[in-house]
Every structure is written in C-alpha cells, then in structure tokens.
Structure 1
Amino acid sequence: MIKCDRTTFLIGAAVGAAAAVFIQKQTSGSKNTPPEKVLKQIKETFKQQGPINGSWIQMKPEDYAHNGFQVSVYKGGISRQGETGSEQFEFAADAKTGTLLNVHSIH
C-alpha cells in the first residue's frame, strides 16, 4: 500500500488541475475553417442557381457585427451569368464554421 501524505496529495491535485485547464484552453480555442474550404462551400451553394464565372475570398478574417454580436468573418465575392447579364455578389461567412452570414448583390 502506498502512503500519501496531505502535501503530496495537494501537489498532485494542483498539477492535475493545472493540466486540465491547459488542455481545455488548447482544445476549446477552436480554429478557423480554412478560407479556401469556406469559398468552396459557398460556391457549391451558388452553383445550385447556375454556373459561376469567378470568385474570391479574403485570406485574413475580420471583425463583423452580426445580429448584435461581433463575429470573425471572411469576406468574398461571386460572379455568375444571370438572365440579364453578369451578376455579382459579396458575402460574409463565419470564419470558424464557414456559415454564410450575409449576401448582397452588387449593382
């Protein structure tokens, strides 16, 4: 039987707690989805309405106000041939999830 005094127990508990906090911070700080992957998802959505002529996305996320919250987003654009000619759209997509938050037509 191993004898464990109070000091040894407290040191072990403190080390364990510190390790748990460190691991939680390392795993909970979710990383951004790569911008190329976000653009690919958005292009697939747009392709449901017709072929795409061109697309672009900023590689560095920026802060964006959405429904009263600050969100990190990638901004980008899509162009496609519509019934009346070329159509262009700008979008903002959540940098962590890739979710499309805003799309508007450029006239």
Structure 2
Amino acid sequence: MNWKTFLLGAAAGFATGYATKQILDQSSRPSPDKVLAHVKETVKKDGNIYGSWILMKPETYTKNELDYLVYKGGITRNTEGLREQFEFVADAATGTILELNPQND
C-alpha cells in the first residue's frame, strides 16, 4: 500500500466529514439549552437571574393563526430586591422569544 495514497484518502475523508458536520449544524434547530441561554441573556438585562427551566421536548403552539414548534420554560430574576417570575415561549427553529409573560404569585 502506498502511504501517500492512504494519507490523501484519510485527509479527504476527514475534510468531507468536517464539511458535512458544519452543514448539519447550520441547518439544524438550536438545542433547548441554547434557547434557554438566549432567553436568560435577554431577561438578565433588567436583573440577575435566580433560576430557570425549559421543557426539553418541543411542542406545537399557535399564535395569530400561525403554528410554531416551540420550547416552553420559565425564568426567575431579582430586580432591586424583588423576585420576579416569567414564563416564556420560544420558537424551536430560531430561538426567538414569542412570548414572555410575568407570573403573579
């Protein structure tokens, strides 16, 4: 076996695998963890995050007669000594927050 041919084939296989992974990562939807991180970054602009949760399984949601696949979750933050709770609905395909609703105790 010629070592140059072997190394060339291995390099081509690695490059193809890497390119395929990059394409799949770009076309797939964000993970629930990434969506939750995005929501936390948005909410913490007005106070410190105390706790958060997200449902790991996306579900169907209808808003303004449009159907979305969404993640639902919640955030608790402290603002000026007050604890506030919010529930959110985020688009599973993009991570965009569709709703952010304050919860009353």
With the length of structure 2 as denominator, give the TM-score of the two structures.
Answer: 0.70
RMSD: 1.5
Where in structure 1 do 4 or more consecutive aligned residues deviate above 4 Å? none
The equivalent position to 1:102 in structure 2, one of 69, 94, 99, is 99
Structure 2 segments unaligned to the other structure (5+ residues): 1-23
**In structure 2, what is the Cα distance between the partners aligned to 1:84 and 1:52?**
12
**In structure 2, what is the Cα distance between the partners aligned to 1:72 and 1:81?**
30
- Using the TM superposition, give the Cα deviation of residue 68 of structure 1 relative to its aligned residue in structure 2, in angstroms: 0.8
- Using the TM superposition, give the Cα deviation of residue 84 of structure 1 relative to its aligned residue in structure 2, in angstroms: 6.2
Instruction: Determine helix, strand or coil for the equivalent of 2:77.
Output: strand
Larger Rg: 1
Q: In the alignment, what sits opposite 2:60?
A: 63
Q: In the alignment, what sits opposite 2:48?
A: 51
Q: Say whether residues 1:41 and 2:9 are aligned partners.
A: no
**In structure 1, what is the Cα distance between the partners aligned to 2:70 and 2:77?**
23
- Using the TM superposition, give the Cα deviation of residue 37 of structure 1 relative to its aligned residue in structure 2, in angstroms: 0.3
The count of aligned residue pairs is: 79
Identity %: 52
- Write the letter of the residue equivalent to 1:97: T
Which structure's residues are more often helix, by fraction?
Answer: 2
- Superposed CA deviations along residues 60-103 of structure 1, whole A, max 9, x for unmatched, are 00010112111000000000113462100000000000000001
